[in-house]
Chains A and B, each alone.
Chain A
Amino acid sequence: MKIRTVRHLVKEGLVNAVRQKMMFIATVFIVVASFLVLGIFLFVILNLNELSSLVSKEPEIKVFCKYTLDDGQVYDVQKAIEKFPEIDTVTKVTKQEAFDKLKNDIYKGHAESMEGLTADSLEVSFIIKLKDPSQGVKIIPELKKITGVNDVKSPLDIVNMIISAQAWIRIVTLVLVLILLGISILIISNAIRLTVHSRKTEVKIMKYIGGTDAYIRLPFIIEGMLMGLIGSALAFGLISLIYNVFPASSGLLNDGLFGQFKLVRLDDILQFSVFGLFDAKVFLWIPIFLGFIFTGTIMGATGSAISIKKYLKLK
């Protein structure tokens, strides 16, 4: 096929899209719906990954002393903790500091909930950072054995659970994404099939007067690609809007969970090396957006190609 012809057929596809606007819009909506589901899933996966990688990078372990300890005993606990060679820093949180934190952060504006509570009724605690985060799993049981220690708390508990389940989570999410993609292709190709079906007479006429399969197919494929492109771009816009505006997530985006884990932000910077030659930095949303429109366009083209095949058959 000549370039001139391809150019002409691309134009033809665009003109068809405009002429069949209702059908076009309906299909675009179906694409948007499919990609919304896919996109929501993608963000869940991104955050799960972020959660496990972030917390295992910088785990913070909190050791709580018993209420009854006097200053000397607390000092002994601190010394015992500091003996561990795996530990990088130990920060003491006094009863007063813990009380102030409760008052100013957690129960801010709810003073009535703190009635009867005094600094004395709280525990002294130590915040520990490790030199090597992977040692966390080993050290926590050891810390619990120290005399005077009431409890050891660490997001590692949750993280460990996630890490041990991560392989499974990945497999399950991969399978789910594949299933969703398959369903989306089916839905889209079905929607495009309706478009093609409504124009089957046209396809037949084209065949009768000597149009080649490629010639007849190309405008439909262009139309399908356009549906996929617009649908996926719209879905991306909607998802980012929901993700950034939704109150529950906006809290997590800015303040984080337990002051530790924050949701992935679309304007996070992604750094990667290009063929080992230089480092490139892009906003996280750029590869997601490109991935969306690429998948959408390919799905639109595939859907069209599948749908039109039936009508191009000859006896």
Chain B
Amino acid sequence: MIELNDVSMTYTKGHEALKNIDFKIGDGEFVFLVGSSGAGKSSIIKLLMKDEVPSKGTVFVDGVNVAEIPHKKVAEFRRKVGVVFQDFKLLPDKTVFENVAYALEITEKPAKQIRREVPKILSLVGLSKKYRSYPKELSGGEQQRVAIARALVNQPSILIADEPTGNLDPSTSFEIMDLLNDVNIMGTTVIVSTHEMNLVNQMKKRVIEINEGKIVRDVLKGSYSNEN
């Protein structure tokens, strides 16, 4: 369960990114955060992974007030929330296998378990054969699959994807969306921020639209904009 109560956020430069945001996302939901660039989508995601703290209001993730998580516990918290980024954020010096394994290593899982879990998750994202490749040897879509595998390998209850298809061509974007949908069907709450109309319209999921830091629309089985 994710809950934002009257959240406002101002960056240090004085720019007010979010104004009085209120919404709840239940367990197992699939939600699109839509809006133009700079609308405030990324700010919400930063709040959900404690990369930023609200200047007003509260953010609850899995029953925990994110602002109150002490520095030492942030690492543990982030393992419960898998995050996927537009630029994939893979470790360039590590292979596909090592990138995914890294997420398990930081939780001090035994090597045996890592050797068992990583191939499973790589097969789920369809990259079994590329486990030895380095990120630069992969296509954009493949890199994003690795990032999704890494985000999922710790079995988080929530998966957040910030513009996951922003760097991908349309057909690859649909494949990635299908994969995220599969993840959601398996029980993970999925939040996707995007400004790609076609994807949103085809998926028919809950849509929260942000404009200039405010929620302007929140509809179930919605489309990208009111006109559709």
Contacts and interface: CB of A to CB of B under 8 A. Distances in A.
Interface of A: 1-2, 4-5, 8, 16, 19, 201-202, 204-213, 215, 314-315
Given A5-B108, A8-B105, A315-B52, A210 B78 contact: yes
Contact of A315 (B53, B72, B93, B107): B53
A203 to B, nearest CB: 10
A4 to B, nearest CB: 7
B83 to A, nearest CB: 6
Nearest to A20: B93
Interface residues of B, number: 31
Contact of A201 (B52, B89, B108, B151): B89
Nearest to A202: B91
Contacts of A209: 78-79, 83, 102-103, 106, 150-151
Return the 6 tightest CB-CB contacts between A and B, nearest first: A210-B79, A210-B78, A212-B75, A211-B106, A205-B89, A210-B75
Contacts of B108: 1-2, 4-5
Contacts of A8: 105
Interface string B18-55: 00000000000000000000000000000001111100
Interface of B: 49-53, 71-72, 74-79, 83, 85, 89-93, 102-103, 105-108, 110-111, 150-151, 154
Contact of A210 (B76, B89, B91): B76
A4 B102 CA distance: 15
A1 B108 CA distance: 8
A205 B91 contact: yes
Contacts of A205: 89-91
Nearest to A312: B71
Nearest to B77: A210
A49 B31 CA distance: 77
B51 A315 contact: yes
B106 A210 contact: yes
Contacts of A16: 93
B149 to A, nearest CB: 12
Contacts of B85: 208
A314 B50 contact: yes
A8 B53 CA distance: 33
A208 B83 contact: yes
Contacts of A210: 75-79, 103, 106-107, 154
A173 B52 CA distance: 50
A212 B106 contact: yes
B91 A314 contact: no
A315 B108 CA distance: 25
Nearest to B69: A314
B78 A208 contact: yes
A161 to B, nearest CB: 59
B75 A208 contact: no
B137 to A, nearest CB: 16
Contacts of B49: 208
Contacts of B91: 202, 205-206
B146 to A, nearest CB: 12
Which of A8, A206, A212: most chain B Cβ within 10 A? A212
A208 B89 contact: yes
Contacts of B75: 207, 210-213, 215
B50 A206 contact: no
A5 B110 CA distance: 9
Nearest to A208: B83
A204 B150 CA distance: 15
Contacts of A208: 49, 51, 78, 83, 85, 89
A212 B50 CA distance: 14
Nearest to A15: B93
25 contacts: A2-B108, A5-B105, A19-B93, A202-B92, A204-B89, A205-B90, A206-B102, A207-B75, A208-B49, A208-B78, A208-B83, A208-B85, A209-B78, A209-B106, A210-B75, A210-B79, A210-B107, A210-B154, A211-B106, A212-B76, A213-B72, A314-B71, A314-B74, A315-B51, A315-B53
